[in-house]
Structure 1
């Protein structure tokens, strides 16, 4: 497993449509593992393959309930509406207000190419919409209501404790 380099807004690959995954090869399995490592290392809740420079329809998401791997995902139902701040690992240090569905039902294949359906609300629904958009070459900045704002992150508790000890 390895940390992959993230691609940032302005990189043309982020505006291209990703290709359907037809089979799980050792390279695809490695990509999925690397995407999970990269997402966790960057403190993200989701990551799409184009964000690491690979035009394949693969997304990983973890909103705190364990990781989901989506291969060739499709949204099959939405309901409601939520408006809130959204950020992106490909647009570091920025956030903006975006309106998304509050409920999403999606179908996809897992890392073994077994089909599954999943339903999510709130953050999970937002993450699915956000990450699946990457597969079609879209960034959340296209949907932002108003200006992007600078974001500063608080150091994690663990890091603060280390600093206190020194």
Structure 2
């Protein structure tokens, strides 16, 4: 079956969001057209990618509200988060980073794309210390202490209970994004000397415009419960 140029472009768009249908060459023209009709347009993809809020925006310091309605709007939010995260690109993105005060985040670690709603974390006592950055603090990267392993319980965008277990990079990502939902940034977890250096770099960053809001010192070592 030959595919014309517009259809090919739509197939390419679709491939970025979900796998190409199995045995596509054996699909009938009708089923192929039905499948292609669900592909998002260039305009839909453009709209789905949202501006990322930068350090200094009050929404990043405001604790997010739990999700209570698992509806179409929530599914649209998860899509927007996913598309914005992949476009950035980043390992994770929390709803406050696109200006939405709800407890939702997405992640993309080791080729796996996922999301979690209303996360509740159990953290290991064993720790890791390594580099960390943030899409809301572009260009900054500092070693940050985190739990080595995490068990994250929450819900899918359809309201189904889900548990995610991860270690190392996935654990770091889940903790980082859950921090966002509590109004905490990774620079809050740095020691005094590293925070001072972070402030200097932010002040010199073009995106900051020379203004540096006060860095909050995290009042607790973790936001979850130790295992």
| Aligned counterparts of 1:39 and 1:57: Cα–Cα separation in 2 | 16
CA contact (8 A) 2:119 2:153 kept: yes
Whether 1:89 aligns to 2:135 is: yes
Q: Indicate the residue corresponding to 2:174 in structure 1.
A: 128
1:64 is displaced (CA, Å) by 2.1
Q: Which has the larger Rg?
A: 2
| Aligned counterparts of 2:162 and 2:123: Cα–Cα separation in 1 | 14
Q: Deviations over 1:64-113 (max 9, x none)?
A: 24212100001024231110110000000111111000111110101211
RMSD: 1.4
Q: Indicate the residue corresponding to 1:107 in structure 2.
A: 153
- Higher strand proportion (structure 1 or 2): 1
Alignment counterpart, residue 67 of structure 1, candidates 90, 107, 113: 113
Q: Which has the higher contact order (CA 8 A, sep 6+)?
A: 1
Alignment counterpart, residue 31 of structure 1, candidates 59, 77, 85: 77
Alignment counterpart, residue 41 of structure 1, candidates 87, 101, 109: 87
Farther-moved stretch of structure 1 (54-63 vs 141-150)? 141-150
| Aligned counterparts of 1:32 and 1:139: Cα–Cα separation in 2 | 21
When normalised by structure 2's length, the TM-score is 0.64
Q: Indicate the residue corresponding to 1:16 in structure 2.
A: 62
Question: What secondary structure does 1:119 align onto?
Answer: strand
Q: Indicate the residue corresponding to 2:214 in structure 1.
A: none
When normalised by structure 1's length, the TM-score is 0.86
CA contact (8 A) 2:82 2:106 kept: yes
Unaligned 5+ runs, structure 2: 1-44, 202-227
1:123 is displaced (CA, Å) by 0.3
Q: Deviations over 1:18-69 (max 9, x none)?
A: 0010122211111100100000000100000000000000010110242121
